[in-house]
């Protein structure tokens, strides 16, 4: 059991193929990410960025080597502990049918109203929610068409903020937002990051700029690793 987590990550000789006889997609990757670091991952299509994120999210386990959190192999963590410590914010900012309140509290159904509101305020979506006719009771399906991509992204940030994981994985949306929304999403992201460990598959230059470290992945290998200013 790992009741609380600092958020130190380590990939050690992490190798992955999607099927036993398939090609190696990640090749003996060695990577240490200290707790609190924001890492932007960039690289051309098919390089292995999402695969790296999926190993951390435990959609898959490594074929060889290991991935560990605070020195504990992810395979030795219970699903519940992994879920508590490592959260993935999806590219599509996926909202489930139900109310906005339910969507934010997903994964923490016992959260109080004031915790939910505090999370929404923290990432900057409380006002927009209050502007909806039914506020937090708004059904995202009925209103879904009226929530913009940026608003949906902010609500998914509030969900992640409330879950309060030590490690955050974000596969950034490629779809472009208008400039005002992009600024709000950027601000929400910075607040969500706080001092968590974060692995962000970055598509926006503004995201790369706020990272502590940028990894360039090519063909399943880290080919560059440095501060954004050095790249
Ligand atoms: P993009 O920028 O397009 O999202 P990526 O860097 O995220 O690319 P990955 O999705 O990690 O790339 O893919 C790495 C390699 O693994 C590619 O060759 C891809 O075709 C392959 N791959 C990805 N998902 C699967 C899968 N489910 N089954 C088999 N091969 C896959
Ligand atoms: Mg990808």
CB-defined site of ligand 1, < 6 Å = 18, 25, 43, 45-51
Centre of ligand 2 to C-alpha 133, Å, is 36
Q: Residue 89's beta-bridge partner residues? A: 170
ipTM (interface predicted TM) = 0.99
The rounded distance, in Å, linking the Cα atoms of 180 and 183 is 5
Least confidently predicted of 38-42, 73-77, 153-157: 153-157
User: For residue 176, what are the CA distances in angstroms to 86, 88, 105, 181?
Assistant: 26, 20, 27, 10
Q: For 99, which DSSP code?
A: B
Q: Residue 32's beta-bridge partner residues? A: 10
188-219 exposure pattern, b = at least 16 Cβ within 10 A, e = fewer: bbeebbeebbbbbbbbbeebbebbebbbbbee
Q: For 182, which DSSP code?
A: H
Centre of ligand 1 to C-alpha 220, Å, is 10
- pLDDT confidence band for 171 (50 / 70 / 90): confident
Q: 158-169: per-residue pLDDT in tens?
A: 999 999 999 999
Decide: helix, strand or coil at residue 35: coil
- pLDDT confidence band for 93 (50 / 70 / 90): low
Q: DSSP of 129-141, one letter per residue? A: HHTSTTGGG-BHH
List the residue whose alpha carbon is closest to atom 30 of ligand 1: 18
Decide: helix, strand or coil at residue 229: helix
Phi, psi of 58 (to 5 degrees): 60, 35
Q: Where are the domains of the chain?
A: 36-59+76-230
Atom number in ligand 1 closest to CA 49: 6
Identify the top-confidence range among 78-82, 95-99, 215-219. 215-219
Q: 119-150: per-residue pLDDT in tens?
A: 999 999 999 999 998 999 999 887 555 788 88
Kindly give, in sequence order, each residue whose CB lies less than 8 Å from that of residue 86, ignoring residues fewer than 6 positions away: 56, 57, 58, 69, 165, 166, 167, 168, 169
pLDDT on residue 143:
52
Angle among Cα 44, 45, 51 to the nearest 5 degrees reads 105
- pLDDT confidence band for 91 (50 / 70 / 90): low
- pLDDT confidence band for 17 (50 / 70 / 90): very high
What tokens does 95 get? 């909202």
Q: Which ligand does the CA of 25 lie closest to? A: 1
pTM of the model: 0.91
pLDDT on residue 181:
86
Q: 183-213: per-residue pLDDT in tens?
A: 998 999 999 999 899 999 998 888 899 999 9
The CATH classification number of 36-59+76-230 equals: 3.40.50.300
Mean pLDDT, all residues of the chain? 92
Cβ(74)–Cβ(2) below 8 Å: no
**E strand or H helix that includes residue 157:** helix 149-163
Q: Which ligand does the CA of 171 lie closest to? A: 2
């Amino acid at each position: 059991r790992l009741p609380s987590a600092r958020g130190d990550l380590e990939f050690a000789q992490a190798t992955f193929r999607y099927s036993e006889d398939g090609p190696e997609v990640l090749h003996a990757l060695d990577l240490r990410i200290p707790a609190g670091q924001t890492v932007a991952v960039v690289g051309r299509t098919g390089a292995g960025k999402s695969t790296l994120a999926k190993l951390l999210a435990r959609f898959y386990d490594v074929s060889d080597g290991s991935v560990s959190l605070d020195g504990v192999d992810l395979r030795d963590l219970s699903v519940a502990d992994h879920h508590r410590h490592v959260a993935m914010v999806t590219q599509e900012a996926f909202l489930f049918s139900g109310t906005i309140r339910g969507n934010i509290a997903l994964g923490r159904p016992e959260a109080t109203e004031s915790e939910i509101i505090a999370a929404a305020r923290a990432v900057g979506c409380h006002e927009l929610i209050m502007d909806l006719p039914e506020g937090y009771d708004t059904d995202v399906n009925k209103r879904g068409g009226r929530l913009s991509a940026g608003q949906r992204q902010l609500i998914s940030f509030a969900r992640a903020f409330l879950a309060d994981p030590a490690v955050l994985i974000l596969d950034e949306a490629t779809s472009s937002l208008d400039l005002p929304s992009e600024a709000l999403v950027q601000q929400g992201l910075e607040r969500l990051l706080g001092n968590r460990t974060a692995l962000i598959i970055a598509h926006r230059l503004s995201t790369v700029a706020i990272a502590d470290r940028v990894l360039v992945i090519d063909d399943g290998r880290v080919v560059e690793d440095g501060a954004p200013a050095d790249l």
